[in-house]
Structure 1
Amino acid sequence: MSINRRHLLATAALFAVTPAARALAAAGASPLNAAFDDIFAAQLKRSPETTTSLGLDKDARAGAKSRLDDRSLASRYSDKADNLKYLALLKSVDRKSLTGLDAVNYDTVAYQMETQAEADRAFDYGPGGAGAPYVVSQLTGCYQALPDFLDSQHSIETKADADAYLARLEAFATALDQDTEQARYDGGHGVIPPDFALDKTLKQMTDLHDQTPDKAVLVQSVARRAAEKHIDGDYASQASAIWTGKVQPALARQIALMKDFRAKATHDAGVWRLPKGEDYYAASFKQWTTSTMSPEEVHKTGLDLLEQLSARMDEQLKAQGYTQGTVGERLRALYADPKFRYPDTDEGKEKLIADLNLKVKAVQAKLPAYFKTLPKQSVEIRRVPKYIEAGAPGGYYQGGALDGSRPGAYFINLRNTAEVPSWTLPTLTYHESIPGHHLQGALQQEADLPMIRKVMWFSAYGEGWALYAEQLADEMGMYDDDPMGRIGMLHDAAFRAVRLVVDSGLHHKRWTREQAIQFFVDKIGDPETSATTEVERYCVWPGQACSYMVGKINWLRLREVAKTKLGPKFDIREFHDAGLVSGATPLTVLDDVMAGYIKQKMV
């Protein structure tokens, strides 16, 4: 799930002073919850893209649907100033007077704002304080995000919707120039992506730029959808004129800057080479994981877990007749075995997605035994759009609209089916859909929470849950008749242990890109192409890859604590409810949530 974190945080203490909060407080309603409504409204006003992503832009005439977020360099500094102002207001609220969910809500927002403020004080580069140092890379920048946003999230039902699309298409050119402005500023201070990241960035950017109007996704999207709804107007012609007259020139200007960066770039992979680079990694790790583990602890934890998981994979591989070579070599042989590979054709990829839908249906039938509350929102499985699949990860989840008008979506990267053999697919599916991201995200959206909490995201909580869900699927019996799928589950757990080692290796121990890729291939057998994509991802999102295993370890620890303290009173359905319906939180707050659940059950 994705939100504009900085815009959300910049509004995060308005409840202390807003008129609506005062009015509702006088009427006897909770001033905190009343204020959160004001906070949410302010967030939507500042971020029209968030408004659309959440499905709250139905009236195109109201204006939000015609605009994109402000990405100017000036907005970076106004956001920082707003966060400090609102943090001071938040601190004026008497935390001791809050209990239960109010306390959880307060602590969650406060943690996010304080972490943001710490990073803002320390670093003057990147779009969000810490965690993503490069405004434009193969995984960051509006050139990478907005085409899919406009095609899949900007709905078109009326002429006003189609006209709003055209306005946003024109605004895309402005957004590109704003990203270029920020990237140029950061580049002047030595913040330039590594050469290999720029190579992939330039390929994706050039592929987008070179699309002729009759092939351009952003032109054909509005033309096709307007025609399907029988909306009057020559939208193909209007969109074509904007594409060639506005967007392509803005892309050309950004490409020129990236080429200039490429001539200056080094091959060094880690953020240690950036201004205050070691501190930046520590701040990024904290921001992504909500943990204070040291890089050395992270590295050692990854190595220890990898050793344990490799031993388990060795047993499972031998049981299936794979006995020769190291664990990594045997896994590599499984990747290369054509019997586990879908045809690399459109028909083969459609069959792959159909098979994954059957997996989702099967696991869904088992949910009532493990969860008291089940999501109402459905989930769809889709291909990663071809124009971003070169740099995109193997799979990711996109949350649905708050009003249910757009379902959750699990995107799978099918650029090459050799990278996703059949024995790896069940675990990826359980991670991204059910009981992983979709179940957690949909329950959060449907829970009795203030709107601001419904859309908040903490990577260690959410990715940790999805990784825990992979193991839970095994406990639910999803691999009882699928031993190769269980090997895939163990491989993916080892994959996340490798991430701890590689991420800290790149940014703390100053590993090279090639060293990190080789470690990946040697330990878990991944094809070099997919290992390369992973490593290059960690280079531009320092610390993010660690959030998965750090979060999973915490979920498992909390479950063991609950089992030990509650004994026969422990009910896994209640444990899951306690952790999920209170919404995404920092790990420290999740500890408090679970302590409250245990205390209540022990009465």
Structure 2
Amino acid sequence: MTQTSFDITRRQALAGLGATTALTLSGCASLPRDEMVGKAAQIGADRLLEVVAYNLLEHEPGRATSLGVDTGRYAYLRGKLEDQTQAGQQAFAATLRQDLARVAAYPRDGLDSDTVTNLDVVQSAYEVALDGFALPYGDTPVGNWRTAPYVVIQNVGEYLAMPRFMQSDQKVENGDDADAYIQRVEAFPATLDGELERIKAARAMGVVPPAFLIDKTIRQMEQTIESASKGELFADDLRAKLKSTGMPESHANRALTLETGPIADALLRQLAELKAERAVATDAPGISVRPHGEEFYAWALRSSTTTTMSADEIHRQGLDELEALHGRMDPILREIGYTTGSVGERMQALGQDARYKFSPGDAGREEIMAFIWERVNWVKSQMPRAFNTLVNPNMEVKRIPPAEEVGAPGAYGGAGSKDGTIPGRFWINLRSTDLHRKYDLADLAFHESIPGHIWEGEFSNRLSLIRSILAFNPFSEGWALYAEQLADELGAYDDFAVGRLGYLQSLAFRACRMVVDTGLHSKGWSREQAVRFFVERNGSKREEVESEVDRYCSWPGQATGYKLGHSRIVDQRKRAQAELGGAYDLKAFNDAVILGGNVPMDVLEKNVGRYIARVKG
């Protein structure tokens, strides 16, 4: 198969978003009737999907900015924020309900397979989201991965998200941009109070986060309030952006007034509520012990896996996969001289080996950044061996803001904007260099950047707008784990066996997540029991997994999608190999998966089936 690259630019793809509104059937007059009807159906479906996409962005305007589509007739979205009140969330659900009905009713006859997939993806995402909105509390993801019962907690809430978003994604290149920046800052107190309304309502029905999460959140909230008192959330950022373009700094002065006044006051109101919650909180970590908790967790598992697997089934699969992966790790450990104890105990010992640690402090942080870029550049050069269709991501590696590091994972990453002006970002937690080892950092880089999240996002950004918006946890995270596997298959660890241990431990870590998440939320595990499972069974670093476990407590179900998604992709590869025999081609398979876009697991199976059928002819 000939190697290709995309022959349309992102801006051309964006221009096409509105093209369907200008199409008429006059150009189809010379076509046979059946073909003309099919053309009309295709145009209608494309237009419907465009309308559905912008209806969604009306409720989540920040995503329009992150995608780079808050332009032209939609430029007004650049100054809006999501309505976080309960009424606002109900209005969001009403829009989803209306658009789901339109998508479900649209005839599929005469449509090409890609458009059928687009409609099926929207229908699946909206059905699951609406079931989440029907729950009496929580933050429901729509084409997103975060299943959050607590609207404000250590890793959820606009007190964290809004400053990061404004600093990273809100461009200021002219006076209109500066006005939009201020409009969002002006709207921020109402956003915070909308969240406050919802967490007070949750407390009234007995839904209070675990005490250990509230303690973290209070510390972070206090740090955010201190930053606001100095103008560090918005005013400093806006001032720097204005200065870089040579514009007057009067808007920054306005931002400072808002930040030190209404915004700080709204943050203090949230802090007071957190302290009221802390007074009645317990350390019970699982959602199932809270009102409607079993119902919430069942939905969270469905949202996070795009399957109907039960907690017991996921728990058993995690244990089975962990045992199989440790079976692969054992001989490597023996080969490098670690022969005594369980795999977990030997991995703990390996973690203390000074040869694989980074220097402490800023010197180590620089070592980590250099290490990441060396591995990223290496794997980028290998991509022609794994794909026929190539992209060249615009990307950055950035430190997670110190104010967020305590509640954040070791790293995370994602694609840039649809128009390419905002780069994909690999965020690395550097609160301590001891979070990372030289044998596991390469694997982390492949997962978050290339050929993982940033690489995959580049392909999704070239699909229709609604497909760029909607993402599914098991595909996003399953693909990133599959990316780790590809890096190994391309030779990343051929001369560094300890690095392969890091890769296998990463997969085992995700198998542990299936066990631990279900343990916490379905089997009555304590936080300490969950931490010990990681440390003792997998040799994970306690400092790392304490934050991990806390994340599972605030995002029930989300952690189960990683290894489950990876296993489904690998199963589909085995299926293609078995059915195609000598006609199977790794690059063609990888293209079929990634060009099909981010999809639920049942749609992934259909996409691979179409690839197999094409090859068979």
| Residue 519, structure 1, aligned to residue 533, structure 2 | yes
Question: 1:213, 1:219 within 8 Å by CA — same for their partners in 2?
Answer: no
| Structure 2 partner of 1:533 | 547
Shift of 1:567: 0.7
1:142-541 equivalent positions in 2, closer than 5 A: 142-211=158-227, 213-214=229-230, 216-446=232-462, 449-541=463-555
Superposition CA RMSD, Å:
2.2
The whole-number CA distance in structure 2 between the counterparts of 1:208 and 1:344 is 26
The whole-number CA distance in structure 1 between the counterparts of 2:546 and 2:25 is 55
2:47 aligned to which of 28, 31, 34: 34
Shift of 1:296: 1.1
State the SS of the aligned residue for 2:49.
Answer: helix
| Structure 1 partner of 2:140 | 128
Report the identity percentage.
37
Shift of 1:59: 6.7
Structure 1 residues not aligned, in runs of 5+: 1-14
State the SS of the aligned residue for 2:140.
Answer: coil
With over 3 angstroms needed to count, the CA separation of the structure-2 counterparts of 1:61 and 1:510, relative to structure 1, is closer
TM-score (norm: length of structure 1): 0.93
Question: 2:148, 2:556 within 8 Å by CA — same for their partners in 1?
Answer: yes
Shift of 1:602: 0.7
Question: 1:335, 1:419 within 8 Å by CA — same for their partners in 2?
Answer: no
The whole-number CA distance in structure 2 between the counterparts of 1:219 and 1:529 is 34
| Equivalent position amino acid for 1:36 in 2 | L
With over 3 angstroms needed to count, the CA separation of the structure-2 counterparts of 1:19 and 1:581, relative to structure 1, is closer
State the SS of the aligned residue for 1:493.
Answer: helix
| Structure 1 partner of 2:602 | 588
| Residue 56, structure 1, aligned to residue 69, structure 2 | yes
Question: 2:139, 2:147 within 8 Å by CA — same for their partners in 1?
Answer: no
The whole-number CA distance in structure 1 between the counterparts of 2:245 and 2:96 is 42
The whole-number CA distance in structure 2 between the counterparts of 1:497 and 1:163 is 48
With over 3 angstroms needed to count, the CA separation of the structure-2 counterparts of 1:403 and 1:99, relative to structure 1, is closer
Please list the CA deviations of residues 368-422 of structure 1 after superposition, one character each: whole Å capped at 9, or x if unmatched.
1110111233221111111111101111113211111121111111111101111
| Structure 1 partner of 2:10 | none
| Equivalent position amino acid for 1:33 in 2 | D
The whole-number CA distance in structure 2 between the counterparts of 1:21 and 1:598 is 35
With over 3 angstroms needed to count, the CA separation of the structure-2 counterparts of 1:357 and 1:20, relative to structure 1, is closer
Question: 1:374, 1:443 within 8 Å by CA — same for their partners in 2?
Answer: no
The whole-number CA distance in structure 2 between the counterparts of 1:271 and 1:286 is 15
| Structure 2 partner of 1:550 | 564
Please list the CA deviations of residues 426-463 of structure 1 after superposition, one character each: whole Å capped at 9, or x if unmatched.
110000011111111111112xx321112210010110
The whole-number CA distance in structure 2 between the counterparts of 1:355 and 1:410 is 13
The whole-number CA distance in structure 2 between the counterparts of 1:258 and 1:319 is 52
The whole-number CA distance in structure 2 between the counterparts of 1:115 and 1:569 is 38
Question: 2:406, 2:431 within 8 Å by CA — same for their partners in 1?
Answer: yes
Shift of 1:583: 0.9
Bigger mean CA offset, 409-418 vs 303-312: 303-312
TM-score (norm: length of structure 2): 0.91
Shift of 1:247: 1.1
| Structure 1 partner of 2:89 | 76
The whole-number CA distance in structure 2 between the counterparts of 1:524 and 1:554 is 22
State the SS of the aligned residue for 1:397.
Answer: strand
Question: 2:86, 2:198 within 8 Å by CA — same for their partners in 1?
Answer: yes
State the SS of the aligned residue for 1:411.
Answer: strand
State the SS of the aligned residue for 1:435.
Answer: coil
| Structure 2 partner of 1:4 | none
The whole-number CA distance in structure 2 between the counterparts of 1:350 and 1:157 is 31
With over 3 angstroms needed to count, the CA separation of the structure-2 counterparts of 1:159 and 1:521, relative to structure 1, is same
The whole-number CA distance in structure 1 between the counterparts of 2:227 and 2:455 is 37
Please list the CA deviations of residues 112-159 of structure 1 after superposition, one character each: whole Å capped at 9, or x if unmatched.
1122233334x1111217922111111111112111001111112223
Shift of 1:334: 2.5
Bigger mean CA offset, 143-152 vs 84-93: 84-93
State the SS of the aligned residue for 1:211.
Answer: helix
With over 3 angstroms needed to count, the CA separation of the structure-2 counterparts of 1:144 and 1:60, relative to structure 1, is farther
With over 3 angstroms needed to count, the CA separation of the structure-2 counterparts of 1:382 and 1:25, relative to structure 1, is farther
Question: 2:53, 2:465 within 8 Å by CA — same for their partners in 1?
Answer: yes
State the SS of the aligned residue for 1:210.
Answer: helix
The whole-number CA distance in structure 1 between the counterparts of 2:101 and 2:340 is 62
2:106 aligned to which of 61, 78, 93: 93
Question: 2:297, 2:521 within 8 Å by CA — same for their partners in 1?
Answer: yes
The whole-number CA distance in structure 2 between the counterparts of 1:270 and 1:401 is 36
The whole-number CA distance in structure 2 between the counterparts of 1:262 and 1:600 is 59
State the SS of the aligned residue for 2:347.
Answer: helix
